[in-house]
Amino acid sequence: MLDIENLEHAYGASTVLRGLSLHIPAGEVGCLLGPSGCGKTTALRLIAGFEAPRAGRIRIGGLPVADARPGQEPTLVPPEQRFIGLVFQDYALFPHLSVEDNVGFGLRRWAQGDHQRRVDEMLALTGLDAVRRQRPTELSGGQQQRVALARALAPRPRLLLLDEPFSNLDVELRERLSLDVRELLRHENITALLVTHDQHEAFAMADRIGVMHDGRLVQWGSAYDLYHRPASRFVADFIGQGVFLPGEVLSADAVQIELGVLRGVDVAQCDGGSCLALGRGAAVDVLLRPDDITHDDASPIQAEVVRRAFRGAEFLYTLRLDSGRQVLCLVPSHHNHAIGERIGIRLAVDHVIAFARPD
């Protein structure tokens, strides 16, 4: 439904997108995730038609909406003819219109009966029926964002673009709303592209996530792949929590670190390939997630608690190894250990992810 090929864009002399390509099949939700300034919003603006690309192609539902090639006049379909729904963080609702009139705004050319039926349907789907006659200013932030979503979805757009849609809401509401929106998009079979720097939002909503860095897509995959099979050190650092411990390649699926030998249930990966490609004895940095280390009183390996964060069901402990290096460990919260205490730990690594140590 959305096809992007080699998209490039610059503001004046500063290049912001450097060959962005991605594909989102019909009915799927994709997400661009990345640090501030990496070009996420620019990508969305090019897809919506608010900016013209310097090079590259965008197709929506198979139809070219932007095509820029060197030496040729670019093809550009204006934004209103791209049949895209937009949801931004600042809601942008019409304050003088009721909730139902906001939702029906894009349906002015629909026949009266169809218009009413669609508005009723959207209000029911977004749980706004009880507030249909109120003004947006009389609603909570979460309700306002539901109105913005209902308004964007009502005309059945070919593609929905969401730019940091929940960033004005508190964390708990954000998580609930992301899951609700996911359900709604599935129900309506909508293809969508979300832009966020919040990975929980991305994990809750998206089928595929693209991590962007400096105008490039550095990995495009499921949340599981990004977390467990990061293709680069940047992705490993950006997604989830973890630390790197120095290690040495022993064989195709074994790496030695100070806590023991890691044998990959999956083959050990170094920078996306086999560690053996780096050679036996190669120096690597091994990624250890908090769930790669478990607490075990019987273990001969001991580490000192230096920090602890209570997470309800779990503690996230920061532990100092005898070498002085630190690791993270997620432990059920009934194991309540004090700072300074030494506790037993065990490796529980499913697949080894390592990166060649930079010189």
Map the footprint of ligand ATP across residues 281-340, applying CB under 6 A: none
Nearest to 165 by CA among 152, 73, 156, 155: 152
Q: Shortest gap between Cβ of 88 and ligand ATP (angstroms)? A: 11
Contacts of 112 (CB under 8 A, 6+ apart): none
Q: Does 64 bind ligand ATP (CB under 6 A)?
A: no
H helices, E strands: number in the chain = 8, 23
Q: Shortest gap between Cβ of 38 and ligand ATP (angstroms)? A: 4
Q: How many residues bind ligand ATP (CB under 6 A)?
A: 11
Q: Which positions from 156 to 195 touch ligand ATP by CB under 6 A, shown as an x/- string? A: ----------------------------------------
Pairing outcome for strands 159-163 and 192-196: parallel
Q: Shortest gap between Cβ of 40 and ligand ATP (angstroms)? A: 4
Beta bridge partners of 328: 318
Q: Shortest gap between Cβ of 6 and ligand ATP (angstroms)? A: 17
Beta bridge partners of 62: none
Q: Which positions from 192 to 221 touch ligand ATP by CB under 6 A, shown as an x/- string? A: -----x------------------------
Burial 253-263 (b: 16+ CB within 10 A, else e): bbbbbebeebb
Q: Shortest gap between Cβ of 168 and ligand ATP (angstroms)? A: 14
Nearer Cβ to ligand ATP, position 11 or 224? 11
Query: Residues 290, 329: contact at Cβ < 8 Å?
Result: yes
Map the footprint of ligand ATP across residues 1-60, applying CB under 6 A: 11, 16, 34, 36-42
Map the footprint of ligand ATP across residues 127-156, applying CB under 6 A: none
Beta bridge partners of 20: 7
Nearer Cβ to ligand ATP, position 13 or 313? 13
Provide the 10 A C-beta neighbour count for residue 73: 8
Burial 42-66 (b: 16+ CB within 10 A, else e): bbbbbbbbebebbbbbbbbeeeebb
Tokens of 294: 């478990």
Nearer Cβ to ligand ATP, position 174 or 197? 197
Map the footprint of ligand ATP across residues 95-114, applying CB under 6 A: none
Binding site for ligand ATP (CB under 6 A): 11, 16, 34, 36-42, 197
